[in-house]
Amino acid sequence: MSSAIELIVDSYTTVKDRQSLEELRIHRRRLAGDLKAWVGFDCRLSIAQIEQDIAAIEAGLEMLSGPVGG
């Protein structure tokens, strides 16, 4: 089953919405940074999930940057 972020990335790549993917990646990076800065809480699982989200977003951006035509 696809994760929510994969479905979102698929939708944005289908409509070639690079700007929304970039904004989503910025948001996830900021969120990961905020969680890493927390003291006294174990946020490793959340950070790992966010890093997986970022990887999926970057894969979508790569698809949009790929060669044109076929």
pLDDT digits (tens, 9 = 90+) for 13-61: 999 999 999 999 999 999 999 999 998 999 999 999 999 999 999 999 9
Give the CA count within 13 Å in the CB-facing half-sphere of 43: 14
| Helices and strands of the chain, counted as H and E runs | 3, 0
Residue 2: per-residue pLDDT? 66
**43: exposed, middle or buried (Cβ count in 10 Å: 0-12, 13-18, 19+):** middle
What per-residue confidence (pLDDT) applies to 1? 44
